[in-house]
Amino acid sequence: MQRRPQSNRRRGLLRALVAGIILIAAILAILLLVSSLTAAPAKAPTVPPTPTPPVLTPSTSPTPSVRASGTPSTRATPSSTKKDIALVGRPPGLAMRMTSLPPSAPNAVAAPRDRRVAYIASPGDAYARSPLRIWNRTTGVTRTISYGDRFVRPVWSADGSRILFARVAQIPAYPGALWTLLEADLRTGSVRVLDRQNGLNLLPLGWRDGRPMYLMSTATDSSVFSISGGKRVFVSIVMPQVITAASMTRDGKYIGFAAPADCFFCTYDTFNLDELHPLVGPSGGQNGGDIAWSRHSDTMAVPLKDRIGIVRADTVSVITTYPRPDGLPPVWTHPMTFTRDKHTLTLTDTVTHHNYTSTR
């Protein structure tokens, strides 16, 4: 009788191994097919066009914006590694010629030793990329070097080689406004970031002992800071309130300002940076920016109702008053200086060189 075929154990294992290999190969083939169907198509590299310097034209219809409040950050931004994004990777702004300043440049400031004027044009609100320009009154040549906040007046260094200015960015997080302090070096063409803080307002003041100084206002106070070694240094609280306009004397000893902010009837005050204390002066001011320092930085001229008062910086007491000069603007659009004698006061617009004279 013929025997039934017997199973071969070795042959069964071989068949199972072959089946497993075939199954794995099939799975890999399916995965490759699916990935090829779902992968994004490759794009050819795009060659960027050659950058062309933009021609910036100042607007005559600015729109002011409302700024938010907040608490200053405790972290400084190293200045040595920051470059202005308005200049990196593209040529500087195209030069143009102007015979006079545009009417939309109320924040213009003149260099102390030559005929250059710095101003921030006004194409939009505070958060717009408003161009910072340098105008040469002799040649008419105007160049754009960066951009900033058109509501904050830039400040020249004493030798006319640098400009301190500010810009603000709108951010979704509280308080909604991120301020940046910048320094433009006109000798090298570089622009560097000195510091960033959140708050209501930032005012560049100038340089004291070679260090940039600025005033930062938050929801609780206005404090003065300096930049030393690329780091932020807290100097002192100036006032427990917001200050929106201030100026520092050329010797860096006093800050003059009006309080409260946006007032109709302010007091004109000073802050002594040597002794770190404020002095509250006479009342009657209507605009915080209307302060003119004497050439020796020891007195300031301020509008007091219908007269101009001469106030000592160290005591903020009124020495004398003069009638308000004819034609003097209700708001001083440019920085002023003044000279006086016993009978005559002369206020001089440092940008237009126009004199406003009063005799008593």
Q: At 191, which amino acid appears? A: V
User: Residue 291 in contact with residue 247, Cβ under 8 Å?
Assistant: yes
* pLDDT value at residue 134: 94
Residue 105: the pLDDT is 77
- Is residue 307 pLDDT above 70, yes or no? yes
Q: Is the pLDDT of residue 142 over 90?
A: yes
Q: What is the predicted pLDDT for the residue at 21?
A: 82
Q: Averaged over 229-239, what is the pLDDT?
A: 96
Tell which wins on pLDDT, 71 or 292: 292
Share of the chain above pLDDT 90, in %: 55
pLDDT interval class at 48 (50, 70, 90): very low
Grade residue 50 by pLDDT with cuts at 50, 70 and 90. very low
Rounded to whole angstroms, how far apart are CA atoms 82 and 84? 7
**What one-letter code names the amino acid at 8?**
N
Rounded to the nearest angstrom, the gap between the alpha carbon of residue 223 and the centroid of all alpha carbons in its chain is 17
Confidence of residue 181 (pLDDT cuts 50, 70, 90): very high
Instruction: Give the mean model confidence (pLDDT) for residues 189-201.
Output: 95
pLDDT, tens digit, for every residue of 200-230? Answer: 999 999 999 999 999 999 989 999 999 999 9
* pTM of this structure: 0.73
Most confidently predicted of 87-96, 191-200, 260-269: 191-200
